[in-house]
Structure 1
Amino acid sequence: MYIKGRYIVSACALLFFQQAQASGMDCTKAVSVVETTICANKPLYELDAQMASIYGRLIRAIAPGQAGIKTAQREWLKTREACGEDVDCLNRSYSHRIEGLHAQWIDAVAYQPDDTDKQVMQDLQQRIRAATKVKPEFALERALGSLTISKGQTSFDGDPNDDPSEDHTLFPKTIPKAVTQDEWKALTASGLEADAEQGRASYTLVDLDGDGQRDLLIATYTGGTGLFTFYETFRRDGKRFTRRLTPYDPESGAGSSLFSVSERGAEQWASWIKSHGRTYLAFRNGSYGVDELYLINPLKINRQIPTITVRYDYQLTVPHNQNRENDNTAYKLQPGLQKTLSQALTKSNAGKPQQPSEHKSPLCPIPASGEGDDTYYSYGAGYYVDEPVTDMPVIIGKECYIARLINWYGRYGDKDGLYAKLMLRKPGSTDPEQSYSVKGRRHVTQVSSEISTRGAELF
């Protein structure tokens, strides 16, 4: 899924596309036109097997509601028969049914936040509000820091691969430092080699359910265009570690994930926090003007998620000292140009991202020739790792330029605050683009919370 300029792969989506292990229909008993068509078409037969697998999981998951599910399945079989030998029709029918069954299964097994979860969410919201009175720029970070688990964790990396052509690590052959003999025995009995084969893996032992035994988090860097790292949890279950999804899906295996982060085109991080006796994965998904914080149950499937939203406004400035992009040499911006760029930022309302400006008319006058009209309404296409904030006109002398303020998804530092760029181009001209750095100091304008499904596709 593509969200805010980043690709995010959810555990649910990965689960959905795994190959089903259950057998399809018994083709020796095929009698109808539809059945013989399915048996003669391998992709259709695989869809039938996948559908049967998900249907079986759903039946096991909702024993009290089996009668209704079985009735719905019989009705679907009747509609499937209408496809006859039409392979496209059967493909659509199966795809739609698999999607529906999968959604029902997720709803049946997903964790339902209780009163304690809601209280944790409300308490954290109050901590953030209180922190705005102390150091408002980092209210969210300070509030989370007061709850972060800092003890009882042990982390270690996978062993280097003997084959340099392989870009994945190997599960360690010897017991890592600070891992007990009992934990090591459980680790080696848990078949974790398959997870290591997905990429460069690292491991963290931490108690996630408060039972006094440390559970396991595996982080696997798979790279790709988005430079992704996927995270999955395993519960300590007696003599071994059991994958988070296994209680719900016996077919789950390496490749599932609790969450993922992208190192390109995203501002995301996660930390372990503890409140009211419970441990949560606090996952932040940031963008310009807003941080969304999801409180994830680390050992369950998450559908309804306690979510805190923090919104910001910025005081934006164009610094007098600038650096050239081509060689990073410093230079001083002319006072007149600095004033013009600053005024354009203010007029565009860019510092108030919750009040975006709309451009229904050209940003710069379209010449009488009418050529290249589209280039006068917006800055144009951008680079996918940048977050476009807003486009605006800038009048320098008697010339009209189109500018775009771009950011890196709300990334913020103590020293410089927000770092952004103002890109400038003259429509209808082949002159090179110009860029100027923009700094910004933020302040919290709103803190809200809700039990949300908006981030469910992330997890």
Structure 2
Amino acid sequence: MYIKGRYIVSACALLFLQQATAGAMECSKAANAVENTICANKGLYELDAQMGTVYRGLMKASVEAQPELKRTQRLWLKARNDCAEDVTCLEHSYRDRLKLLQTQQMDAVAHNPTGIDKQVMEDLQRSFLGASKGANREVAVERVLASLQTDFEETSFPGDLDKDNPSEQTHFPKTIPKDVTPDEWKALTASAIEGQDETGQTSYSLVDLDGDGQRDLIVQTYAGGTGMFTYVETWRRDGDRFIKRSTEPESSLFYTNDRGANQSVHWIKARGNIYVAYRNGAYGVDHVYLLNPLKINREVPTVTVRYSYSLNVPSTQHKDGGTSTYELEPDLRLTLKRAITKANETQPSNGASQRTPICPIPATGAGENDYYSYGPVQYTLEDVFDLPVIIGNECYIGKLVDWFGSYDEKNGLFAQLALRKPDVDGDGRSYEVNGRRHVTEVSTSIGKADGGAAN
């Protein structure tokens, strides 16, 4: 399964509330002023219910930590009781404790990379290196991930269209979809599964993600918006119901942004395990994160691929609107190419920038800040670097932008060089730039993910 530029999120607020209130205190047995105050206040009662759910989950998830957990919970109960009938004090006490326990719960259930995970990471590193020396070396990462993509035995079905807002909202189906077994349908309907976002098209896929013989659930929601987001969350089959990967109401395994990012996802199978290979790209780098599809991913095996570019200014340029072309003057083309080549070669490897003027600041005149940068970049574009461009006897401030390193095997990198004269309004111009890349380094690490894979 390949997903690019979509958003998937699934949520189960109703189920969470049902599970939480099922573990709340029995108000008929309230024995003191604190318990009576909690039972008389709906907000406090729900906080107490959430506390019970998280506490029991922690006790179940970490047997070794049970003695310490019990000790600290007793201390908290004693401090809570000091609030007596003060509702504000009780609410603060509950929220502070809940925040701490939820963090501990996330840590307890988070996936720790195994030896096999690390081997898969190293396998990918070797494959990327090998492919970078082959015939299609410019797209080594894309080629390798495509070759590992797994074909699921899956059943997919859409959500039911909302009767009042059919173009922007769906709901979990009310009738059993085709190829869903009665047993699966019973577990699905027992789990109160629904797309999390208030608007968005949600779809569902049943796939065995952990090899236990039972199919798990992938929930995808395309929420659109300015970034054209797609959110993906998973639910693990556990007996007679499906359990969401994370207890966070708005969690997602990953998301992709089709505007303002360069991201892609391949579901791969390696050494007997299924992984989400999430690629987050930018100019000069691809990070490939290996996500466990059914777990919380805190420490993530990562393969980082770095590139260098040979940049070029095409002699044929497109006019505004792209419907017609014109030819650059040879001298101007050579000037632009030399400027971007020099700037590309002298960029600091650590991405640091020094606050120095790009063009000389005259002894007199307004607008000093206009000499340091071209200006802000629109969110759909990546700011690669600023540079000076000398045309004739005049210095122009230039900025190279691209689409977060998006790369096409046929056309390479597509970028733009924007120019303006300092302290002059309305004198901007832009030129198309393209480039070819080659791999310079492939490294591995284990740590936090970035982009839409951050968890």
Normalising by structure 1, we get a TM-score of 0.81
* More displaced 10-residue stretch of structure 1: 191-200 or 118-127: 191-200
1:109 aligns with 109
Tell whether 2:413 aligns with 1:418. Answer: yes
Match of 2:272 among 248, 272, 277: 277
Tell whether 2:229 aligns with 1:234. Answer: no
Q: Shift of residue 301 of structure 1?
A: 1.5
* AA of the residue aligned to 1:108: A
1:204 aligns with 205
Q: Secondary structure of the residue that 2:310 maps to in structure 1?
A: strand
2:331 aligns with 336
Q: Shift of residue 203 of structure 1?
A: 2.2
Q: Secondary structure of the residue that 1:162 maps to in structure 2?
A: coil
- In the TM superposition, 1:42-53 aligns within 5 A as none
Q: Secondary structure of the residue that 2:297 maps to in structure 1?
A: coil
CA distance in 1, matches of 2:229, 2:256: 6
Match of 2:383 among 388, 397, 400: 388
Q: Shift of residue 393 of structure 1?
A: 0.9
- In the TM superposition, 1:58-97 aligns within 5 A as 58-73=58-73, 97=97
* AA of the residue aligned to 1:223: G
Tell whether 2:402 aligns with 1:402. Answer: no
Q: Secondary structure of the residue that 1:431 maps to in structure 2?
A: coil
CA distance in 1, matches of 2:388, 2:265: 38
- In the TM superposition, 1:133-282 aligns within 5 A as 133-134=133-134, 135-164=136-165, 167-172=168-173, 179=179, 181-182=181-182, 185-186=185-186, 189-191=189-191, 194-195=194-195, 198=198, 199-238=200-239, 242-245=242-245, 249=247, 255-282=250-277
- In the TM superposition, 1:253-402 aligns within 5 A as 255-326=250-321, 328-349=323-344, 354=349, 356=351, 358-402=353-397
* More displaced 10-residue stretch of structure 1: 412-421 or 187-196: 187-196
1:431–1:124 Cα change, 3 Å: same
Match of 1:436 among 431, 435, 438: 431
1:213–1:40 Cα change, 3 Å: closer
CA distance in 1, matches of 2:87, 2:343: 54
Match of 2:444 among 428, 442, 449: 449
Gaps of 5+ in 2: none
Q: What per-residue deviation string (whole Å, max 9, x for no partner) do you get for residues 398-447 of structure 1?
A: 21111111111111111111111111111211124211111011111111
Q: Shift of residue 372 of structure 1?
A: 1.7
Q: Secondary structure of the residue that 2:65 maps to in structure 1?
A: helix
What is the RMSD of the two structures over their aligned residues, measured on CA atoms?
3.9
Q: Secondary structure of the residue that 1:142 maps to in structure 2?
A: helix
* AA of the residue aligned to 2:137: P
CA distance in 2, matches of 1:439, 1:206: 41
CA distance in 2, matches of 1:363, 1:42: 61
1:130 aligns with 130
* AA of the residue aligned to 1:387: E
Normalising by structure 2, we get a TM-score of 0.82
Higher relative contact order (CA 8 A, sep 6+): 2
CA distance in 1, matches of 2:358, 2:83: 53
Q: Shift of residue 215 of structure 1?
A: 2.6
Q: What per-residue deviation string (whole Å, max 9, x for no partner) do you get for residues 366-395 of structure 1?
A: 223352222211111110111101111111
* AA of the residue aligned to 1:117: D
Gaps of 5+ in 1: 1-5
1:232–1:356 Cα change, 3 Å: closer
Q: Shift of residue 275 of structure 1?
A: 1.1
Identity %: 47
CA distance in 2, matches of 1:440, 1:299: 39
Q: What per-residue deviation string (whole Å, max 9, x for no partner) do you get for residues 203-241 of structure 1?
A: 223321123443321111122332211111223445x55
* AA of the residue aligned to 1:125: Q
1:3 aligns with none
Aligned pairs, number: 441
